[in-house]
Amino acid sequence: MYVLHRNKLFHCKSKRRKAEIMKKIPHEEIISYPQRVLFLCTHNSARSQMAEALLRLRGGDYYNAYSAGIAPGVLHPLTVKVMTELGIDISNTTRYRAKHLNEFLDQPPIDLVVTVCDRAAEQCPSFPRARRQVHWGFPDPSLATGNEWEQIAVFRHIRDLIATRINQFVREQQALSLPSNSR
């Protein structure tokens, strides 16, 4: 666990040490590692699941990624298929399942909530206990029409857009947060 304050990185070997350090620093100035990131969407069936899986893979130990929905449905089979193409298995029904945002209300504070669809941003403009909230709007691939190949093409396109944004986010956070000797 790491805590960053004013470009000084504290390595916390225990939760107790982390709590001691965090008591001395104003809440809004704390960047804690791993960062808890929640991707929020309407149904938690495609975009938010993709974002969660991609951040888990590309963010390493610096992030704990989660996803949830305002009105969760079921994990879309084409979401599973296009993520498998990248070597990411999200068929595990324990970790990757459609979850309601209420599952995170009694959890420790979320460092960053990212809404990935406009409807979620409108219905949840301020997530309780979120330290920061941003919106990355992506079109809903589940609305794709046509044959299966045409629908898969849409899912791949959205997956690739999300992957690009996740990569950009990870690079920006590393540049802003972590001293070069601790990467």
Given 50, 78, 113, 117, the catalytic residue: 117
Tell me the C-alpha to C-alpha distance, in Å, between residue 100 and each of 71, 97, 103, 122.
7, 10, 6, 16
> Of 124, 127, 130, 136, whose CA–CA distance to 161 is shortest?
136
* Catalytic residue list contains 117: yes
Given 41, 116, 130, 162, the catalytic residue: 41
**Cis omega (within 30 of 0) on the bond before 179?**
no
Contact between residue 49 and residue 90 where contact means Cβ atoms under 8 Å apart: yes
Given 124, 130, 154, 162, the catalytic residue: 124
User: What backbone torsions phi and psi does residue 43 show, to the nearest 5 degrees?
Assistant: -105, -10
Place of tokens 């000797």: 181
* Catalytic residue list contains 12: no
User: What backbone torsions phi and psi does residue 96 show, to the nearest 5 degrees?
Assistant: -110, 90
Biggest alpha carbon–alpha carbon distance for the chain: 58
Q: Which sequence positions are flagged as catalytic?
A: 41, 117, 124
